[in-house]
């Protein structure tokens, strides 16, 4: 009698095994990345957290490996507290600015751009990401400098008064754009904008046209449709984008060094504390702040119903 089924090779046996036990394949595929995530990623985060509960001996400069909240207490000192507040405000401003700039772009790309224009859109968003971050920041420093192209353009078009008025604003103005908070805001917004546009566009693309038509059909004006349908449905994407812009701004230590009035930001503080000062616990405590703020932010967003559309 001849066999009905052909003889099995080793590969056949293996695929049969995976077919009979689908979880085995899943386990094999997912274990390495899980290990990476669990051990290296979350593990180092835990180590960071642990560090923040140590303190530094002021005389020897050595880390004292004993549990204490003293380091967190130091964050409340006026100069540290200022750093936190400054960073928080800048991150919030950058996030808001990016969201406002990104929304029309993302909306156009999701609703209207087709074929070639869609490709142009993706290229336009991604292209700036391909060049070096440092090059972009230095380029912006030149653009914003007192002798830079912006000042020149303002002079040529006799709109210096706008620039001067902006720079005269108390607190955020300054000598020139490149040494003011306004300039820093512009650079941050420029470098993080793609991270806001892409998730927003993905969320908007998932809103079916019939949803917008249903709203109009029921008597809603464009503005009402925007407020009650488009915005809530795009909210998960906006939140995702704002997580990027917010946390990227909170952790950045290069832009505040190059642009602005050299006021300290969390990223810079961490860099200096664990580098030159050797105060790893305080650096760790500083690094925990963005995490805590993000957690608060997300729980508030959830409470406000931002994820209802998920």
Partner 1 sequence: MPAAVEFRSVSRHFGPTTAPIKAVDGVDLTIAEGAFFAMLGPSGSGKTTCLRLISGFESPTAGEICIFGENVSNTPPHLRNVNTVFQDYALFPHMNVRDNVAYGLMVKGMARAQRYAKAEEMLALVHLDAYGSRKPGQLSGGQRQRVALARALVNEPKVLLLDEPLGALDLKLREAMQDELKSLQKRLGITFVFVTHDQHEALSMADSLAVFNEGKIAQIGTPAEIYAQPKTRFVADFVGSSNVLPPALTQSLGGPAKWSSLRPETLHLDPAGPLQGTVTSLRYLGSGHRIAITTQGQDIAAILPTGTELPEPGQQIRLSFPANALHIMDQA
Q: Which residues bind partner 1 (CB under 8 A)?
A: 208, 210-211, 213-221, 224, 228-229, 232-233, 305, 308-309
Looking from the CA of 252 toward its CB, the CA atoms found within 13 Å total 28
Output the six-digit token pair for 63: 């880390």
Residue (215 or 274) nearer to partner 1, CB:
215
Residue 112 Cβ, how far from partner 1 at the closest point, in Å?
Answer: 16
Residue 104 Cβ, how far from partner 1 at the closest point, in Å?
Answer: 22
Residue (12 or 213) nearer to partner 1, CB:
213
Residue 245 Cβ, how far from partner 1 at the closest point, in Å?
Answer: 23
Residue 212 Cβ, how far from partner 1 at the closest point, in Å?
Answer: 9
Residue 117 Cβ, how far from partner 1 at the closest point, in Å?
Answer: 18
Residue (90 or 230) nearer to partner 1, CB:
230
Residue (93 or 110) nearer to partner 1, CB:
110
Residue 220 Cβ, how far from partner 1 at the closest point, in Å?
Answer: 4
Residue (232 or 251) nearer to partner 1, CB:
232
Residue (224 or 262) nearer to partner 1, CB:
224
């Amino acid at each position: 009698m001849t066999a009905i089924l052909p003889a099995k090779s080793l590969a056949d046996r293996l695929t049969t095994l995976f077919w009979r036990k689908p979880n085995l394949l899943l386990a094999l595929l997912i274990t390495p990345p899980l290990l990476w995530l669990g051990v290296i990623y979350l593990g180092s985060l835990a180590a960071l957290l642990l560090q923040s509960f140590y303190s530094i001996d002021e005389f020897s400069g050595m880390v004292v490996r004993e549990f204490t909240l003293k380091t967190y207490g130091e964050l409340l000192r006026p100069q540290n507290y200022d750093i936190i507040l400054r960073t928080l405000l800048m991150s919030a401003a950058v996030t808001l600015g990016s969201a406002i700039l990104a929304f029309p772009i993302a909306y156009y790309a999701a609703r209207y751009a087709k074929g070639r224009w869609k490709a142009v859109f993706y290229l336009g968003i991604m292209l700036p990401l391909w060049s070096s971050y440092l090059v972009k920041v230095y380029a912006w420093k030149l653009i914003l400098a007192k002798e830079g192209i912006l000042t020149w353009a303002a002079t040529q078009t006799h709109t210096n008064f706008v620039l001067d008025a902006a720079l005269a604003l108390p607190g955020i103005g300054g000598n020139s754009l490149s040494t003011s908070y306004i300039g820093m805001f512009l650079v941050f917004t420029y470098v993080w904008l793609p991270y806001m546009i892409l998730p927003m566009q993905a969320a908007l693309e998932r809103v079916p046209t019939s949803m917008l038509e249903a709203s109009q059909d029921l008597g809603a004006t464009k503005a009402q449709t925007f407020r009650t349908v488009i915005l809530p449905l795009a909210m998960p994407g906006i939140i995702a984008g704002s997580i990027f812009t917010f946390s990227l701004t909170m952790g950045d230590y290069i832009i505040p060094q190059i642009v602005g009035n050299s006021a300290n930001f969390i990223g810079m503080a961490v860099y200096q504390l664990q580098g030159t000062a050797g105060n790893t616990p305080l650096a760790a405590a500083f690094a925990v702040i963005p995490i805590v703020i993000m957690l608060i932010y997300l729980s508030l967003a959830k409470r406000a119903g931002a994820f209802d559309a998920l």
